[in-house]
Amino acid sequence: MNTELLGTSIIGFSRGSETGDTFRAFDPTTGKEIDPAFHSATLDELGRATMLADDARLKYSNISGRERAKFLRKAADNIEGLGNTLIERASLETALPNQRFVGERARTCGQLRMFADLLDEGSWVDARIDHAIPDREPIPKPDVRSMLKPLGPVAVFCASNFPLAYSVAGGDTASALAAGCPVIVNAHTAHPGTAELVGIALSNAVKECGMPEGIFSLLFSSGYDIGQALVKHPAIKGVGFTGTRKGGRALMDIAAARPEPIPVYTEMSSVNPTFILPSAVKERGDAIAAGLHASVTGGVGQFCTKPGLVFVPGDENTDVFVSKVRGLITATAPLPLLTGGIQKTYEDANTLRESEVEVSAANNKSGLEGFAVNPSIFETSAISFLKTPDLNEEIFGPTALLIRSNDHDELLDIARALEGQLTASVHGTDDDLSEYADLIQILETKVGRLIFNGFSTGVEVCPSMVHGGPYPATSDGRSTAVGTRAIRRFSRFVCYQNFPQDALPEELRDDNPLNLWRVVDGEFTR
């Protein structure tokens, strides 16, 4: 596989042009540009990509699940075949360690193979059959059958903080391709070289598996014009996005304003509240402090599931716990954030928060290079927290806010006031779960995933995972971006009434040639 970086978009089986609108990645450790230059796609090139995707739509949607599964596995094989070239480029563009990307590559390829397994089994289509009752009185019952079918071409926006697992071949792309949807990816400017390498691997898999040319394209862009035009294009039928609330909200508004509005699945903002109950602080405060520190600073605090708000008791045991956390944070060396823009936002947000709380602490090392920042920790009271809405806002980076509260009802008021979140964590005992059952009931309405005696960072890729949550964590709290249920975002139900057997999809025929689990006349059966 040729892994030379050309810096041009991948449009089906061809490459984009070398335009005058260029940009480069940066080395976050120095802030200096990295070669090569990447050329922004033109509107004409976007038009070619969408035309190819639209042309491939029907053919790809009717390719069998097993054939799509072979393609996804080949894509995973090709990504692994990039070897250290991919790992080293991702590390260069992000300043994150090589080992991080060994794990992220495994997760990315694991997602592709997980969806391949789902397609091989096939029951994800939720086939339902209700046989006709022609002699039913007073009106005969028709034969009615339904299943999930692909939505159509999907636009996927890469995330800054996951150059592999939430980018070119990440969860959005994997689930859309699995559903039978062509995908056009908008690369992120923070890691374009990583994007191009994975794009080459995917494009080669399309060719090697004999898939329609238009099912994958990758577009580079120095600004927002290409991404916005992509969402506006009538050929696009759905959008996947991971990023800021401002960016996600903008795409939602663009999609809603189209003559034909389309679904946008965004992951945008979450502070992932963590409730540490008195028994937990007393019995294992040191261990929780160490775990909290690792969760706040891991990946330089740039995980969407980083615990940003930590609620603790206001007793003497908590004094020791807070002192431990502060010591760990202030001893943590500065590390670079992904981009200069993220660095500036982090520093501005820290300055504002320092003026809003009672206590703050940071490494405070000066003379930082590149996009490096100091980790920080802030403390406030529950009363101040409830009176200061800004403290609810996410700060992307290695920081957290500790909030002290001794009152059960006060914790309930805080939980009720929270925005929608990806996760919430509770540390305590089994008895605490009973005593704080009312808190759990409120949190169930606020988050996509509840965690007991654990930390929110680290999202297991498995069928039962829910990585979503009520707005503004995501645009649609009924969906997930991780796990096999993610395939449902890019599919829709189609119903067939009174069709002859030979004209039905195989999934809906009486003889069940694919041996699927289905609901037949109200019974779940094979």
Q: Which residues are catalytic?
A: 267, 304
> Dihedral sign, CA of 290, 291, 292, 295?
positive
Round to whole Å and give the CA distance between 418 and 426: 15
Residue with tokens 């996509």: 448
Please check whether residue 67 is in contact with residue 506, taking contact to mean a CB–CB distance below 8 angstroms. Answer: no
- Strand ranges in 237-341 using DSSP code E only, listed in sequence order: 238-242, 264-267, 274-276, 309-312, 335-336
Round to whole Å and give the CA distance between 196 and 282: 51
Please check whether residue 123 is in contact with residue 108, taking contact to mean a CB–CB distance below 8 angstroms. Answer: no
Residues of 284-308 as b/e, b for ≥16 C-beta within 10 angstroms? Answer: ebeebbebbbebbbbbbbbbbbbbb
Enumerate the β-bridge partners of residue 401: 309, 378
Please check whether residue 162 is in contact with residue 104, taking contact to mean a CB–CB distance below 8 angstroms. Answer: yes
Q: Whose CA is closest to 342, among 159, 105, 108, 102?
A: 159
Using CA atoms, how far residue 24 sits from 16, 27, 91, 189, in Å, is 17, 10, 15, 8
> Residue 194, exposed/middle/buried by CB under 10 A (0-12, 13-18, 19+)?
buried
> Dihedral sign, CA of 300, 4, 227, 241?
negative
**Phi, psi (degrees; rounded to nearest 5) at 382:** -60, -40
Helix (H/G/I), strand (E/B), else coil: 368: coil
For residue 5, count other CB atoms closer than 10 A to its CB: 17
Enumerate the β-bridge partners of residue 523: 520
